[in-house]
Structure 1
């Protein structure tokens, strides 16, 4: 994994409660709250300044089309937010995903290193499968009586993707803490 293990270890205890909250509110209300998305972005902006300090790390060269420029890793990671947000807005407009999912993905994107995208795809796939199976089993069992008024139980084919997305981010950071560079 390319994410630094030290960075993942610093991010994890602050991101994990936000992930739990996002999963819970998305199952309960079928919405990801804006304040949770903002909190996730703020965690990276503030903690990232100390974990990936732009003033002490060297600049990394990057290319976007014909343009090449150098920036510290912290700023490259922050550049993920507008790119993922624009992609999420397009996917939301096409009806592929909810607006909360798009915003959550954008806020979570700076925590993910580009070299780890294949691993993240595998983690996300596993989390989506596990979340769908867990949600459907709970929905059709006596566990439903613990939270009988959750919106996600009665939405037909709609699924609270925040449950899977938050789990994937948490799992990525846990793996980064253990196996990171």
Structure 2
């Protein structure tokens, strides 16, 4: 059983799913995660969280957002990750229960491997003609990490919602 409450997960899932799809598409297309999508993800938690989470848990989850934002800013300044990825991680942090971190890291590892392999295969296949102007095809070393991050968050919330 996951630590994220199934009722909360069912309420969060439609928002996480739609925003996650947009983040994936945007990162693939332009190698950018728009600020608006990150703000909407955080706002969905801020607005909906008090209705489905106990106040103590809700408050601690908001602290997760702040801590991850600071960590992300440091990692961005050190050029370890992009600013969009750091902001997305911060906005996603409140949705994740600390007790589920081991599972979230396993999901993230799997989604990174799957997204990277799929992206590179599509880049060198006729599928590329479906979106020939995507910037992620032309960057040789960069990878649109928002795809893996949003997929991992969506899978985690979906698992919590339906288990």
Aligned residues: 162
Mapped partners of 2:151, 2:127: distance in 1? 20
Which runs of structure 1 show a deviation greater than 3 angstroms over 4 or more consecutive aligned residues?
none
Give the equivalent residue in structure 1 for 2:110: 126
Mapped partners of 2:108, 2:91: distance in 1? 16
Give the equivalent residue in structure 2 for 1:24: 25
Give the equivalent residue in structure 1 for 2:100: 116
Cα deviation for residue 53 of structure 1 reads: 4.8
SS in 2 for 1:157: coil
Give the equivalent residue in structure 1 for 2:87: 103
SS in 2 for 1:3: coil
The structure whose Rg is larger is 1
Structure with the bigger percentage of helix: 2
TM-score (norm 1): 0.88
Give the equivalent residue in structure 2 for 1:49: 50
Mapped partners of 1:53, 1:114: distance in 2? 15
Selected match of 1:144 from 123, 128, 131: 128
Cα deviation for residue 86 of structure 1 reads: 0.7
Residue 78 (str. 1) matches residue 47 (str. 2): no
Give the equivalent residue in structure 1 for 2:157: 173
TM-score (norm 2): 0.97
SS in 1 for 2:159: helix
Mapped partners of 2:97, 2:50: distance in 1? 16
Structure with the bigger percentage of strand: 1
